[in-house]
Amino acid sequence: MTAGRKFRDVLARKGLVEAMASHSPLSAMLAAEAGFDAIWASGFELSAMYGVPDVSVVSMTQHLDMTRAMADRSGLPVVADIDTGFGNAINVLYAVEQYERAGAAVIVMEDKSFPKVTSLIAGGRQDMVRIEEFQGKIEAARAARRDPDLVIVARTEALIAGLGQEEALKRARAYEAAGADMILVHSKQKTPDEIEAFVRAWDGKAPIALVPTAYPQMTVARVKELKKIGLLIWGNHAIRASVGAMRATFAQIRKEGGIHGVESQIATVDDVFELQGMSAVKDNEKRFLR
Ligand code: SPV
Ligand code: MG
């Protein structure tokens, strides 16, 4: 079964796919262990992992390699955040071919111009491409997929750019007309109002994807009440959890002059061995090493 088919099956069965952000194969494995349906191969998380801003600095190759490794290790469908598609429609043709081969189930492409600026930053430059240009990019994505089940998500940044609901709806309708399977609408409002108004006004057939980072009051239960949502992305909680945990641990070791105090608070070495599959290594040593 292809990755895209697997994603579509979960969507059909559950009505809502819940994806957790990841920046590494290990974080993707932990998301799978926690019971999420899919992995969000977040550009923000990977950029942060490299210690650089999410402004098209991380290359397609870096993100693609991580997508492949996360799909391989987690076994979950991966929702690949390909930002602007790394250029124009010609770049999109190449990118989609590569991401499908890397095992991505879903491709999310946003209607900002390359190089992009991260969406949630206060006062960020949020330059958009023309609607017709983005329709060409969606058509290129559709033309490049070999598997008809690979899900193409068009993400509009109209609300992020402050262009308002009418522009967001106009773009979403145009992107659905160009063949997008799903529409992601992003907002940085501190409450769900803006997004809920959009969802109520949405008159298309395509399900909506949300990333409620800025408006954490949006729970799974509330999303289900909205009916039209097909994909819920917890956008950056793997990297933020890591930053918090590492900071606290490092500070405590410095303060206490040793590692004795943190011992009971962090994962055991055996726990990490288990994640790495060391028990299988031991079994295989018995079987094959002579
Ligand atoms: C990401 O996680 O890379 C996203 C979501 O695109 S956001 O950072 O909120 O734009
Ligand atoms: Mg992103």
Q: Which of 20, 42, 110 to mutate to test the pocket of ligand 1 (most atoms within 8 A of CB)?
A: 42
CATH number of 3-238: 3.20.20.60
- Of 210, 260, 203, 216, which is closest to residue 230 (Cα–Cα)? 210
- Helix-strand-coil split of the chain, %, nearest 5: 50, 15, 40
Q: Report pLDDT for 237.
A: 98
Domain ranges of the chain: 3-238, 243-288
User: For atom 2 of ligand 1, which residue has the closest CA?
Assistant: 42
- Atom in ligand 1 nearest the alpha carbon of residue 54: 3
- Residue 72 falls in the annotated catalytic set: no
Active-site position among 54, 81, 111, 181: 54
User: For atom 5 of ligand 1, which residue has the closest CA?
Assistant: 235
User: For atom 10 of ligand 1, which residue has the closest CA?
Assistant: 119
> Tens of pLDDT along the chain (290 residues)?
999 999 999 999 999 999 999 999 999 999 999 999 999 999 999 999 999 999 999 999 999 999 999 999 999 999 999 999 999 999 999 999 999 999 999 999 999 999 999 999 999 999 999 999 999 999 999 999 999 999 999 999 999 999 999 999 999 999 999 999 999 999 999 999 999 999 999 999 999 999 999 999 999 999 999 999 999 999 999 999 999 999 999 999 999 999 999 999 999 999 999 999 999 999 999 999 99
- Atom in ligand 1 nearest the alpha carbon of residue 214: 9
Q: Render pLDDT for 210-257 as a digit per residue (tens, 0 to 9).
A: 999 999 999 999 999 999 999 999 999 999 999 999 999 999 999 999
CA 261 – CA 246 distance, rounded (Å): 14
Q: Render pLDDT for 197-211 as a digit per residue (tens, 0 to 9).
A: 999 999 999 999 999
Q: Which residues of 60-94 are buried (b: 16+ CB within 10 A; e: fewer)?
A: beebbebbbbbbebbebbbbbbbbbbbbbbebbbe
CA of 56 to the centre of ligand 2 (A): 9
- Atom in ligand 1 nearest the alpha carbon of residue 43: 3
Q: Which position has the token pair 């917890």?
A: 234
CA of 84 to the centre of ligand 2 (A): 9
Q: Is the model's pTM score more than 0.85?
A: yes
Strand blocks (E) in the chain: 17-22, 38-41, 78-81, 106-110, 151-156, 182-185, 208-210, 229-234
How many helices (H) does the chain have, and how many strands (E)? 12, 8
Ramachandran bin of 179, using left for φ above 0, alpha for ψ from -120 to 50, beta for the remaining angles: left
Ligand number nearest to the C-alpha of 56: 2
Structure tokens at 84: 């602007």
Q: Which residues line ligand 1 (CB under 6 A)?
A: 21, 42-45, 54, 81, 118-120, 211, 213, 235-236
Q: Report pLDDT for 102.
A: 98
Residue 149, CA distances (Å) to 9, 54, 107, 112, 223 in order: 10, 29, 11, 25, 24
